[in-house]
Amino acid sequence: MATFKAPVEDIKYLNNEFLDTSELSGIPMFDEMTPDLTDVIFEEAGKISEALLFPLNRSGDEQGCSFNNGKVTTPDGFKEAYTEMTKSGWGNLTCNKQHGGQGLPHYIANAVDEMIISSNMSFSIYMGLTIGAYNAIEKFASEGLKQKFLPNMVSGKWSGTMCLTEPHCGTDLALIRTLATPLSDGSYDITGSKIFISAGEHDLTENILHLVLARTPGAPAGIKGISLFIVPKIKINKDDSLDEPNNVTCSGIEHKMGIKASSTCAIEFKESQGYLIGELNKGMKAMFIMMNGARIHVGIQGLAQAHASYSGAVDYAKERLQGRSLTGIKHPDKVADPLIVHPNVRHMLMSMKAYTEGARALSTWLSFKLDVSHHAKTKQQRQEADELVSLVTPVFKSFLTDIGETVTSLGIQVYGGHGYIRENGMEQYLRDARICKIYEGTNGIQALDLVGRKLPTHMGRYLRYFFHPLSNFLESHAENESMSAYIQPLTKSFFRLQTATLVIAQKGLANPDEAGAAARDYLNIFGLVALGYMWAKMAGQALNNSGNMPKNFYDAKLKTGLFFMQKLLPQTGSLLSSIMAGGHSTMSLNEDQF
């Protein structure tokens, strides 16, 4: 049976030593985030993840959600766990204090989220969707709607969803048909069908608030005519008590490959009362608040599943006796040596560790930049951080979910035949991780967003907020002999990223298909360089050895970072070769030749 240990010590290191929070110094919210406080938060999150949520992970997968006459029942133990989690405040870490939230920074909350997700991804989705809905309402809704909905969302009494996809359209939201008819009291009748609605129906909360994209009669065609509405499952009286059902019906749940304990629903709205969020026909602007946050959250899901798989694989490799070491017996007191002595197993474990810990560092760094975009003292600081986050978000979502699939597959391989058996728990991680590459915009869509929107915006201005700090970092360590093993490979790969950027910019102007064909390779170069940047920064700190972690911890960072530079980062070479070859072979077949 797979074991699980929350990455508490690594998260402490990243927040206390790796992360430079000086950009937000002098702001009380961030000055309060001392190790005395945050270490306790991380330790408690680790405990509840290991003791409360992880024991429900496999049982929830086996039992799944059940559907009967429009009602969804979550697996045994989920309702009790949800009550405990929300009562303890784990579901509202970043929510505004005036609504009853904790008011914590994103970089703290996202570290906690990783532990919760890695222990039980299906369970985490119910709380995660509510935070996304909260963020959109808090930013765009009127004060009256905020007071009506937010306190009960923050307490966990009510939950939230995102309702975008319809049966005839997925990513192309311009095709949405759901209709919102205005009423005399200022509300709207919402009629339409939505599919793939995560946590769209369940038994965990008294009410579910659906954030629905819809069109009003006569609205402009395409995305310019889409508005965003709050549609409660149950109507709400003026005194906030629940009224009658709101003609919101779950017509079925999907039978999925993974995340089986998370209900994925088809939802029908029939003249259901809804309330406009933000401006009419400006729904996409409001929805992107949810979607961008959700994309970062999904990237963290990929990281979390990678950690869960690594946690199980490394324990198994230390215990499972199989063969003898190629360089001589390592455990003469045993009938065989453990798996971990074998180079191939070591390579798999090192790949898992290097990807996972590098991704965690990137998550910490990006989450803090998200905080800077919201809370920095000057408008220029906030704008620059916002543009950096906008640039890196598609890379983060796509590359980390690729890592999730790669690492969870390796975890099965470490177990061998036992990894393929459901009872051992490892194959669930791969099944659960696989959805992350699909929802909140497939990874192909993220790559197109990166090369088609983020790169050309303002003549490539977004790139400078990643390229310039990385270039300065490399230059500052160029003569540092102790760092050369980390700086030289990263410098080469950064040059490849810059070259690929120029090639795509030039070819894409002449033929957009060229940019589209290169998009995934380009995003993956970007992701590898971003992780390389994180590993080089960690190596520099480890060489200084001036922190509070044990010496063995820093030694492991140096060795794992070196493995990343020597064994994983060189993939940028083949990716650049693929980009340089152009997109002709990709587009050359006629449709009837497939």
What amino acid positions are annotated as catalytic residues? Answer: 440
- What are the residues whose beta carbons fall under 8 Å from the beta carbon of 10, sequence distance 6 or more? 357, 360
Name the residue among 363, 370, 261 with its Cα closest to residue 304: 363
Angstrom CA distances, 341 to 81, 314, 324, 344, 412, stand at: 40, 12, 8, 9, 18
- How many other C-beta atoms can be found within 10 angstroms of the C-beta atom of residue 295? 22
- The residue whose two tokens read 């779950």 is 250
Q: Are 201 and 253 in contact (CB under 8 A)?
A: yes
Output DSSP code: residue 405: H
- What are the residues whose beta carbons fall under 8 Å from the beta carbon of 528, sequence distance 6 or more? 399, 493, 568, 569, 571, 572, 575
H helices then E strands: how many in the chain? 19, 11
DSSP 342-403: SHHHHHHHHHHHHHHHHHHHHHHHHHHHHHHHHH-SSHHHHHHHHHHHHHHHHHHHHHHHHH
DSSP 309-331: HHHHHHHHHHH-B-S--TTS-S-
- How many other C-beta atoms can be found within 10 angstroms of the C-beta atom of residue 70? 13
Q: Please state, in angstroms and rounded to a whole number, the distance separating the CA atoms of residues 89 and 334.
A: 48
Angstrom CA distances, 188 to 134, 269, 270, stand at: 20, 12, 11
